[in-house]
């Protein structure tokens, strides 16, 4: 598609692709969390019980009530992650005819409890597709690699059944404030009695003044402005003259992949703000208590994990801390809680400019997804393009080399934090930034966000009292394995295999080899069990709890046969 496409053609394209991706996300979740664990699905069904349209294709066959569902499979991973090549067909019972299903009908058949979320996600994606393909060419990319990777992550997490559900945000506001449309938005500002502003950690008042272009103003996210101004506590402040709207103004900021976090390359920190929307399956309206926890946890982690810039040979997974937060605080906490939450801002640190220029960091989730121009075309080829060029390697060899380096840096940092410090990090793809060396190989990784960090109870109970952050050995281990292997490395392997033609088993062999090196260096019974094929836990998206996945290491040769990767 391009900006010259007729409006009708563009509309049909956006509707079709949003529907296709919604089906793919929902089916992947149901497969992983329900059908495969129960033995109710086959990924490589070759029997004749199928519609004529799929007669010659490899299909997934799945039980749905008394009936069956089939769909053509273009790619299936060792963990059951699939990319599909047709619409799903359903037969409600023996002797009935096969009927193609759209997303709404599929949701009613498989997960009716989330039908509203699934429809919301599809509608948001359709809006983004329409908007993206009429953007002027200069707005489709920039010289800022980090900004480009933060924005235009069009498709979202394929293991979330509703990755783009935003809680029915007004379509105009959604287009204006979403990263998928390449937007840059101005904040809603207020002239505020300085006595109302509460700071936690180092103050960022000068940075706010720089953004606003005037002193003594305080912002909220534009999506939150109406809700805050309707609040009775706000109206009391307005009547008393302690707060007054100053309108949309100031330096435009770029929404990042997390939507509520805003970025500008000239600022020393980002701004993570409250939004009345669903973000990554969670409420985007952040309680002030969550911000307090982020700042305190960031300070604590800074004492035990390396948060400075690593020297050559030093730590190469660094934590981007969140040392500051601010809000408006009233004398009567109960009445002003909505204001305290809605005006709450946390200020995540940025990577220093010199390092951004040298290592050109990109968000990992921007690499291990589909191209924003075509569902089914992996974006991961961009990850290895420079390595192919600089080292004059075939794409297959470059993929193996790139993945080996990435896993070494990522898994090494995560496992050291757990085994040495009792800190369970959760390196999901959207939370990892990858800095590359001169030949395009991963050289430095940054992990951002403290919301999902857990602390080992027996080590940290004396310093941390809040129960949600503390965990026992089993909880912490399962938490980090889900994020590290299922939510990160497995997606990297899936997309690299599809993009380059490397045998998936060979890529998993590379991963297991790196994990065995870690086991030899760091020890640990659970790390040894992981290398030997222990099942992998993953959290459910369709309901509470976890499900166990078979390890992708099972069935691999004892030593990595890299020649298999190159045909």
Res. 168 pLDDT band, cuts 50 70 90: confident
Domain final residue pick, 91, 112, 133: 112
Q: Calculate ∠ Cα 122-11-156, nearest 5°.
A: 30
Domain final residue pick, 346, 377, 395: 346
pLDDT given at position 466: 73
pLDDT given at position 335: 67
Has residue 169 been placed in a domain?
no
Q: Which of 87-96, 243-252, 303-312, 521-530 has the lowest mean pLDDT?
A: 303-312
pLDDT given at position 497: 96
Q: Is the predicted pLDDT of residue 560 greater than 80, yes or no? A: no
**Contact criterion met (CB below 8 Å) for 530 and 508:** no
pLDDT given at position 332: 67
pTM attached to this predicted model: 0.93
pLDDT given at position 138: 47
Q: Is the predicted pLDDT of residue 43 greater than 50, yes or no? A: yes
With H, G, I as helix, E, B as strand and everything else as coil, classify residue 250.
strand
Q: Which residue has the tokens 């890529």?
A: 507
Has residue 144 been placed in a domain?
no
Q: Considering the chain, what is the average pLDDT of its residues?
A: 91
- Do residues 318 and 442 share a domain? no
pLDDT in tens, 457-497: 999 998 888 778 999 999 999 999 999 999 999 999 999 99
- Do residues 253 and 329 share a domain? yes
Q: Which of 236-245, 302-311, 343-352 has the lowest mean pLDDT?
A: 302-311
pLDDT in tens, 512-549: 999 999 999 999 899 999 999 999 999 999 988 899 99
Res. 306 pLDDT band, cuts 50 70 90: low
Residue 515 belongs to domain with CATH number = 1.10.510.40
**Contact criterion met (CB below 8 Å) for 182 and 133:** no
What is the domain count for the chain? 3
Has residue 191 been placed in a domain?
yes
- Do residues 298 and 382 share a domain? no
Q: Which of 27-31, 98-102, 213-217, 283-287 has the lowest mean pLDDT?
A: 283-287
pLDDT in tens, 290-300: 999 999 999 99
Summarize the confidence of residues 101-110 as an average pLDDT. Answer: 97
**Contact criterion met (CB below 8 Å) for 464 and 424:** no
- Do residues 336 and 361 share a domain? no
Q: What is the DSSP string of 81-115?
A: -EEE-S--EEE-STTPPPEE--HHHHHHHH-GGGH
- Do residues 328 and 363 share a domain? no
- Do residues 391 and 410 share a domain? yes
Summarize the confidence of residues 391-401 as an average pLDDT. Answer: 96
pLDDT given at position 312: 44
pLDDT given at position 555: 87
- Do residues 85 and 38 share a domain? yes
pLDDT in tens, 410-437: 999 999 999 999 999 999 999 999 999 9
- Do residues 335 and 239 share a domain? yes
Q: Angle of helix 7-30 relative to helix 103-110, nearest 10 degrees?
A: 20
pLDDT given at position 314: 52
Q: Is the predicted pLDDT of residue 47 greater than 60, yes or no? A: yes
- Do residues 364 and 258 share a domain? no
Which residue range forms the structural domain that includes residue 73? 7-112
- Specify which residues 423 forms β-bridges with: 455
pLDDT given at position 11: 85
- Do residues 332 and 369 share a domain? no
- Do residues 329 and 447 share a domain? no
Q: Calculate ∠ Cα 88-92-98, nearest 5°.
A: 50
Please give the C-alpha separations between residue 76 and each of 32, 406, 495, 504, 507, in angstroms, as whole numbers.
12, 23, 11, 10, 14
Summarize the confidence of residues 258-273 as an average pLDDT. Answer: 96
Has residue 151 been placed in a domain?
no
Residue 71 belongs to domain with CATH number = 3.30.310
pLDDT given at position 506: 96
Q: Is the predicted pLDDT of residue 566 greater than 70, yes or no? A: no
Has residue 279 been placed in a domain?
yes
pLDDT given at position 279: 82
- Do residues 438 and 314 share a domain? no
Has residue 504 been placed in a domain?
yes
Instruction: Provide the Cα torsion 534, 535, 539, 544; round to 10°.
Output: -120
pLDDT in tens, 108-150: 999 999 999 999 999 999 999 998 876 655 455 667 999 999 9
Has residue 79 been placed in a domain?
yes
The residues near 328 (Cβ < 8 Å, ≥ 6 apart) are 192, 196, 197, 198, 218, 243, 336, 339, 340, 343
pLDDT in tens, 72-94: 999 999 999 999 999 999 999 88
pLDDT given at position 310: 47
pLDDT given at position 226: 94
CB atoms within 10 A of CB 44: 10
Summarize the confidence of residues 12-18 as an average pLDDT. Answer: 93
pLDDT given at position 107: 97
Summarize the confidence of residues 345-359 as an average pLDDT. Answer: 95
Summarize the confidence of residues 157-164 as an average pLDDT. Answer: 93
Has residue 375 been placed in a domain?
yes
Rounded Cα distance, 397 and 385, in Å: 12
Domain final residue pick, 346, 375, 394: 346
């Amino acid at each position: 598609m391009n900006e010259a496409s007729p409006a009708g053609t563009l509309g049909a394209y956006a509707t079709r692709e949003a529907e296709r991706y919604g089906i793919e996300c929902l089916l992947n979740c149901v497969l992983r969390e329900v059908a495969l664990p129960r033995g109710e699905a086959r990924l490589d069904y070759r029997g004749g019980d199928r519609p004529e349209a799929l007669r010659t294709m490899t299909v997934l066959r799945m039980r749905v009530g008394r009936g069956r569902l089939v769909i053509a499979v273009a790619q299936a991973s060792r963990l059951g992650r699939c990319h599909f090549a047709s619409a799903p067909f359903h037969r409600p019972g023996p002797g009935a005819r096969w009927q193609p299903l759209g997303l709404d009908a599929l949701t009613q058949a498989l997960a009716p409890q989330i039908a509203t979320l699934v429809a919301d996600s599809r509608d948001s994606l359709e809006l983004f597709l329409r908007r993206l393909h009429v953007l002027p060419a200069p707005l489709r990319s920039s010289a800022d690699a980090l900004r480009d990777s933060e924005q235009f992550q069009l498709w979202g997490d394929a293991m979330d059944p509703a990755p783009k559900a935003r809680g029915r945000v007004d379509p105009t506001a959604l287009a204006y404030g979403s990263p998928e449309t390449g937007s840059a938005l101005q904040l809603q500002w207020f002239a505020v009695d300085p006595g109302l502003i509460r700071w936690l950690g180092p103050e960022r008042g000068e940075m706010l003044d720089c953004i606003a272009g005037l002193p003594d103003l305080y912002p909220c996210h534009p999506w939150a402005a109406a809700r805050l101004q309707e609040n009775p506590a706000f109206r009391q402040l307005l009547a008393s003259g302690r707060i007054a709207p100053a309108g949309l103004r100031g330096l435009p900021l770029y929404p990042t992949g997390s939507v509520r976090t805003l970025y500008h390359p000239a600022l020393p920190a980002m701004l993570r703000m409250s939004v009345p929307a669903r973000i990554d399956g969670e409420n985007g309206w952040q309680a002030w208590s969550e911000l307090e926890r982020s700042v305190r946890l960031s300070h604590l982690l800074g004492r035990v994990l390396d948060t400075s810039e690593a020297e050559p040979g030093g730590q190469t997974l660094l934590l981007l801390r969140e040392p500051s937060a601010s809000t408006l605080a009233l004398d009567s906490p109960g009445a002003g809680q909505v204001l305290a939450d809605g005006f709450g801002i946390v200020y995540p640190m940025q990577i220093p400019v010199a390092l951004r220029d040298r290592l050109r960091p990109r968000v990992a989730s921007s690499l291990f997804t589909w191209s924003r121009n075509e569902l089914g075309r992996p974006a991961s080829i961009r990850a290895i393009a420079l390595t192919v060029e600089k080292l004059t390697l075939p794409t297959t060899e470059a993929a193996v080399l790139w993945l080996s380096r990435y896993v070494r840096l990522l898994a090494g940092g995560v496992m050291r934090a757990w085994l040495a410090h009792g800190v369970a990090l959760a390196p999901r793809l959207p939370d990892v930034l990858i800095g590359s060396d001169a030949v395009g190989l991963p050289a430095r990784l940054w992990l951002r966000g403290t919301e999902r960090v857990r602390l080992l109870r027996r080590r940290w109970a004396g310093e941390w009292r809040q129960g949600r952050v503390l965990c026992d050995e089993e909880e912490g281990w399962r938490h980090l394995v889900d994020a590290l292997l299922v939510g990160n490395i497995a997606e990297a392997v899936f997309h690299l295999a599809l993009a380059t033609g490397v045998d998936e088993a060979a890529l998993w062999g590379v991963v297991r080899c790196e994990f065995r090196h870690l086991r030899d260096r760091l020890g640990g019974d659970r790390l040894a069990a992981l290398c030997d094929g222990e099942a992998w836990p993953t959290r459910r998206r369709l309901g509470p709890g976890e499900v166990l996945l078979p390890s992708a290491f099972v069935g691999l040769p004892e030593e990595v046969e890299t020649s298999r990767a190159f045909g």
